Amino acid sequence: MTELAEAPAASDAGAADPRWAREALLTMYRIRRFEEAVDDLFARGMMHGTMHLSIGQEASATGVCAALAEGDLIASTHRGHGHCIAKGADLLPMMAELLAKDSGYCRGRGGSMHIADVAKGNLGANGIVGGGIPIAVGSALAQKLRGTGAVVVCFFGDGATNEGAFHEAANLAAIWQLPVVLVCENNKYGMSFSTEKSMHVATVAERAAAYGFPGVRVDGNDVEAVFAAATEAVARARSGGGPTLLETMTYRWKGHSKSDKNLYRTREEIEQWRADDPIADFEAKILDAGSLSVEDLEAVRTQARDEVRDAVRRSMQAPDADPRAFLADPAAAVFAAPLGSHVAGAPAVEPHGLGTALDATEESK
């Protein structure tokens, strides 16, 4: 994690750059098609549990993660499929997790609210509103102490900024000037409760002033604008300039979760936001810029559709998470060093412990 790839420069990026445009569009389509497939599987009774879809919010996850370098980290939320995909996770183990397969990212133990590709720098989605914010800040402190140069991005919703966790973590990030970007995806509601009713300031971004770091509001449905703002925030974090609160204004098209009857918002409001489709908007910009052709766009759509179809088909065929294997040794799933494994001596798994000096003295006793 010491070697960080160069973060892309904002100037090279955008609709006019065919490579960047194609990548960003593909990521947004992957998220959209993945979540549409999830929605469909759920409707057909083939998927269990509940889920929180981010359809309509794809530009936020995509623009932010595009501003990150390899080795940078994210912490995500209950509405985390998009963050996970944008940070480079594979669709197959994601879908396998949702379909309760052993080959899922969490081996069927986490489900939608805990999917993460840890190896790609995702510290985890979170079922607890605001739960990931202190964790991201702690990770940023670790990056600073270890001198890795990595930046940590923490995603959370507008509702989460009313949790104590947000305020405590924001303050820690500020006093320690940590390399963290706090990304609030403001989709106007925390479940049914609107941001206007839940806070007495006009924007989430201005809450940053209370902690002494910049707060920036940006059109969260404009992937280029998100990317530009995130790039600046990431550069500030990486150069030792401390945290930024980035508020990306967006909207979720679907209900909060599977139980939502949309009683708190109007059909007109939903239609109005659907007209501001982050994907269609970006496609129009790409065509305007002439960086990709209509055929290129079609190829991107086909690729995303095929990848998702393939992930569904292959995970359907994968073996289910097996309760027998699980029950044979539940402690092995719960602990990295399961119960009793210390009794014989050193921890069985990954001795995190003190380095050679202590081991040597341990032997000499």
List residues binding other proteins (CB under 8 A).
1, 73, 75, 104-110, 114, 116, 118-119, 123-124, 126-128, 131, 133-143, 145-146, 152, 164-165, 168-169, 171-172, 175, 333-337, 339-343, 345-347, 349-358, 361-362, 364-365
Please state, in angstroms and rounded to a whole number, the distance separating the CA atoms of residues 93 and 107.
Answer: 9
Tokens coding 41: 């599987």
Sequence letter at residue 256: H
Q: Does 247 bind Mg ion (CB under 5 A)?
A: no
Q: Please, which of residues 37-56 interact with ligand TPP by CB under 6 A?
A: 52
Residue 334's φ and ψ, nearest 5 degrees, are -80, -40
With 0-12 CB in 10 A as exposed, 13-18 as middle and 19+ as buried, what is 323?
exposed
Q: How far is the CB of 316 from ligand TPP (least distance, A)?
A: 28
Q: Is 247 helix (H, G, I), strand (E, B) or coil?
A: strand
Partner in contact with 79, chosen from ligand TPP, Mg ion, other proteins, none, beta carbon below 5 to 8 Å by kind: ligand TPP
If the CB atoms of residues 267 and 365 are measured against other proteins, the closer one turns out to be 365
State how far the alpha carbon of 40 is from the alpha carbons of 47, 108, 228, 318, 349, in Å: 9, 20, 34, 19, 40
- Between helices 294-317 and 278-289, what is the axis angle to 10°? 140
Q: How far is the CB of 135 from ligand TPP (least distance, A)?
A: 14
Residue nearest to Mg ion (CB): 157
Q: Does 187 bind ligand TPP (CB under 6 A)?
A: yes
Q: Does 58 bind ligand TPP (CB under 6 A)?
A: no
Q: Does 79 bind ligand TPP (CB under 6 A)?
A: yes
Partner in contact with 134, chosen from other proteins, Mg ion, ligand TPP, none, beta carbon below 5 to 8 Å by kind: other proteins
- Residue among 15, 22, 33, 20 at smallest CA distance from 67: 20
If the CB atoms of residues 106 and 286 are measured against other proteins, the closer one turns out to be 106
Strand partners for 218 = 248
Please state, in angstroms and rounded to a whole number, the distance separating the CA atoms of residues 73 and 323.
Answer: 32
Please state, in angstroms and rounded to a whole number, the distance separating the CA atoms of residues 6 and 325.
Answer: 43
Q: Does 157 bind Mg ion (CB under 5 A)?
A: yes
Beta carbons within 10 angstroms of residue 274's beta carbon: 13
If the CB atoms of residues 55 and 304 are measured against ligand TPP, the closer one turns out to be 55
Sequence letter at residue 342: H
Binding test (CB under 6 A) with ligand TPP, winner from 93, 159, 243, 278: 159
Taking contact as CB under 5 A, which single stretch among the options 100-108, 149-157, 274-282, 284-292 is the one that binds Mg ion? 149-157
Beta carbons within 10 angstroms of residue 103's beta carbon: 18
Q: How far is the CB of 102 from other proteins (least distance, A)?
A: 9
Q: Does 128 bind ligand TPP (CB under 6 A)?
A: yes
Beta carbons within 10 angstroms of residue 320's beta carbon: 13
Task: Name the one residue in this structure whose structure tokens are 């359809």.
Answer: 55
If the CB atoms of residues 171 and 194 are measured against Mg ion, the closer one turns out to be 194
The residues of the shown chain that bind ligand TPP, judged by CB under 6 A, are: 52, 78-79, 127-129, 156-160, 187, 189-191, 256
The residues of the shown chain that bind Mg ion, judged by CB under 5 A, are: 157-159, 187, 190
